[in-house]
Amino acid sequence: MSVAIIGGGWAGIACAVELADAGRPVTLYEAAKQLGGRGRGVDWNGIRIDNGQHLMIGAYGETLRLLHRLGTAHLLERRPLRLQVPGFRLALPRLPAPLHLATGLLLARGLSLAEKWAAARFMQALQAIHYRLPEDLPAATLLHRHRQPPALIAKLWAPICIAALNTPVEAASAQVFCNVLRDSLAGSRADSDLLMNRADLGSLAGDAALAQLGPRVSLGEKVTGIAARPPRMLKPGALVAPASMPAGLSDAGKDAGATVETRACFTLTGPEQSAEQVVLAVHPSRLPALLADLPEMADISNAVAGFTWQPILTLWLRFATPPVFPFPMLGLGDGHAPWAFERRDLAPGLVAIVMSADGPHIGQPAEQLRDEYLDLLAQALGPLPALLDWKTITEKRATWSCIPNLPRPDNTTPVPGLYLAGDYTAGDYPATLEGAVASGVKCARLILQT
Ligand SMILES: Cc1cc2nc3c(=O)[nH]c(=O)nc-3n(C[C@H](O)[C@H](O)[C@H](O)COP(=O)(O)OP(=O)(O)OC[C@H]3O[C@@H](n4cnc5c(N)ncnc54)[C@H](O)[C@@H]3O)c2cc1C
């Protein structure tokens, strides 16, 4: 059965690799000239950078499996979790769980004993309910109910929430926040490790997938519509494939005496192709337009049309000589403040400063933002080398706002043979590479089961 995957982000890539490995005929249609979607490489004055600084953790099981399969997992640098911002440092030592968290909290710098105790109490309370809340609510409300002191929220919980969910703690889903804490801070020592890509995201996934999938990828191919013809029961005597049906799509004629069910058939406009199964792996904002001709999908389409979006801004700085970082990832302040990443893997002296979620920085002139962030960086690192070049990249719809009780659709749909993949589909994680990859793998497995 032929499968068309629409969208070559990490979800579409994972789905295509899984199906191709199982020997299924698959075509991956990607509107852009490269694979990778929101996690891709970008050319900039002779070097290749990421469209936005990303961070992974050891708990990204499906992502790690995909990168091993693509032969690029060695491009990740694994470090024990360390969160360092001015006046605060939490480092998890190489000890088995939960000792690593207990020791890390005990030795954390910048927290009073009462704050450390409050943090440990909070994690214990979540563990006692297996990180499942009776009802979803804003993460800030959950923290207040557990009497977390404001300084602890500002130094620890709010930065984790906004970095992981790309949604401020006041608006973020407490349940998804708990899921993230379960797999990071409270996960096994290996799960809580930070994984930093030491090559651009294109080399990590998109380019490697293109090399392996070869002619099964159709780049620069925007799908503009999908029409479906559901499976049909054909009675004896009617067992002749209609002329309009693409060759090979009918079971008709196999057994002249029996009633047979023809397979579903989808026709795609844009590439003008047909397929028996379709995986829609586009950005959720693109979903309603693509589903317009499928009335059975109206509920899903309407639910996704209600999503709102959060931006992520990355400032790329190229210095004459590499600034010295105490750790490759450094917070530049409390709460909403940006994080700086040392990226000497892409070019000597390269630094990425990433700022999550919406805020006044998004509307600021780029030069002003550059100067403000350079000041913050100098406060953290001391005098900086000469700046050679710089660039900002703002992804306006980097992620969906991860708010409480968001109606995230399943991977299966009311249309037989049509599947949804992407970071927004039902799952434990916020909009992340892991959520995207896991959804792509899940769709592939559902298809292989049918
Ligand atoms: C700046 C930034 C920083 C981030 N930081 C992190 C991080 O630190 N850690 C983390 O885990 N996650 C991070 N994320 C989130 C992560 O990148 C996304 O969750 C993930 O890449 C989503 O993948 P996807 O395949 O679901 O969707 P997308 O990447 O959106 O893929 C959809 C693809 O479909 C294609 N497409 C759309 N319409 C059509 C059409 N009609 N026909 C054909 N193709 C089409 C698009 O071109 C795109 O390639 C970040 C995202 C951004 C933008």
Is the pLDDT assigned to residue 260 strictly greater than 90? no
Q: Is residue 211 domain-shared with residue 72, that is, in the same domain?
A: yes
Return the pLDDT at 95. Answer: 87
Q: What SS3 state is found at 81? A: coil
- Do strands 194-197 and 277-280 pair parallel, antiparallel, or not at all (unpaired)? unpaired
Q: Is residue 303 domain-shared with residue 407, that is, in the same domain?
A: yes
Residue 385: domain span: 309-400
Q: Which of 38, 66, 201 to mutate to test the pocket of ligand 1 (most atoms within 8 A of CB)?
A: 38
Q: Is residue 205 domain-shared with residue 254, that is, in the same domain?
A: yes
Residue 250: give its domain's CATH number: 3.50.50.60
Q: Please say whether the beta carbons of 73 and 64 come within 8 A.
A: yes
Q: How far is the CA of 8 from the centre of ligand 1 (A)?
A: 9
Return the pLDDT at 246. Answer: 40
Give CA–CA dist 4/280, Å, rounded.
Answer: 8
More confident residue, 260 or 197: 197
Q: At what angle do helices 433-449 and 10-21 cross, to 10 degrees?
A: 30
Is the pLDDT assigned to residue 384 strictly greater than 90? yes
Q: Indicate whether residue 9 lines ligand 1 (CB < 6 A).
A: yes
Average pLDDT over residues 349-364: 95
Query: Which residue's alpha carbon is nearest to atom 11 within ligand 1?
Result: 432
Q: Please say whether the beta carbons of 209 and 70 come within 8 A.
A: yes
The 8-class DSSP code of residue 191 comes to H
Q: How far is the CA of 214 from the centre of ligand 1 (A)?
A: 21
Q: Indicate whether residue 32 lines ligand 1 (CB < 6 A).
A: yes
Q: Is residue 380 domain-shared with residue 418, that is, in the same domain?
A: no
Q: Indicate whether residue 440 lines ligand 1 (CB < 6 A).
A: no
**pLDDT range class, residue 189, cuts 50, 70, 90:** confident
Residue finishing a domain among 146, 170, 192: 192
Residue finishing a domain among 400, 416, 441: 400
Q: Is residue 35 domain-shared with residue 180, that is, in the same domain?
A: no
Q: Indicate whether residue 436 lines ligand 1 (CB < 6 A).
A: yes
Is the pLDDT assigned to residue 206 strictly greater than 70? yes
Ligand 1 atom nearest the C-alpha of 434 is 11
Average pLDDT over residues 364-385: 96
Return the pLDDT at 333. Answer: 87
Q: Indicate whether residue 97 lines ligand 1 (CB < 6 A).
A: no
Q: Which of 223, 282, 355 to mutate to test the pocket of ligand 1 (most atoms within 8 A of CB)?
A: 282
Is the pLDDT assigned to residue 255 strictly greater than 80? no
Q: How far is the CA of 266 from the centre of ligand 1 (A)?
A: 24
Return the pLDDT at 376. Answer: 96
Is the pLDDT assigned to residue 22 strictly greater than 90? yes
Is the pLDDT assigned to residue 94 strictly greater than 90? no
Return the pLDDT at 294. Answer: 95
Do you find a cis peptide bond into 98, omega within 30 degrees of 0? yes
Is the pLDDT assigned to residue 242 strictly greater than 70? no
Residue finishing a domain among 142, 167, 192: 192
Return the pLDDT at 235. Answer: 60
Q: Is residue 325 domain-shared with residue 369, that is, in the same domain?
A: yes
Give CA–CA dist 6/15, Å, rounded.
Answer: 10
Q: How far is the CA of 49 from the centre of ligand 1 (A)?
A: 16
Number of domains in the chain: 3
Q: Is residue 330 domain-shared with residue 285, that is, in the same domain?
A: no
Q: How far is the CA of 435 from the centre of ligand 1 (A)?
A: 11
Residue 90: give its domain's CATH number: 1.10.3110
Query: Which residue's alpha carbon is nearest to atom 51 within ligand 1?
Result: 398
Return the pLDDT at 264. Answer: 64
Is the pLDDT assigned to residue 78 strictly greater than 50? yes
Q: Is residue 35 domain-shared with residue 172, that is, in the same domain?
A: no
Q: Is residue 186 domain-shared with residue 101, that is, in the same domain?
A: yes
Q: Which amino acid is at 200?
A: D
Is the pLDDT assigned to residue 232 strictly greater than 70? no
Q: Indicate whether residue 40 lines ligand 1 (CB < 6 A).
A: no
Return the half-sphere exposure (C-beta side, CA atoms, 13 A cut-off) of residue 318.
15
Q: Which of 25-39, 145-159, 255-269, 325-339 has the lowest mean pLDDT?
A: 255-269
Mean pLDDT across the chain: 92
Q: How far is the CA of 118 from the centre of ligand 1 (A)?
A: 36
Q: Please say whether the beta carbons of 6 and 281 come within 8 A.
A: yes
Q: How far is the CA of 9 from the centre of ligand 1 (A)?
A: 5
Q: How far is CA 91 from the centre of its chain?
A: 25
The 10s digit of each residue's pLDDT in 169-183 is: 999 999 999 999 999
b/e burial code for range 28-49 (CB count within 10 A of at least 16 → b)? bbbbbebbbbbbbbbebeebbb
Give CA–CA dist 188/191, Å, rounded.
Answer: 5
Tokens 């109490």: give the residue: 121
Is the pLDDT assigned to residue 248 strictly greater than 80? no
Q: Is residue 297 domain-shared with residue 423, that is, in the same domain?
A: yes
Q: Is residue 337 domain-shared with residue 386, that is, in the same domain?
A: yes
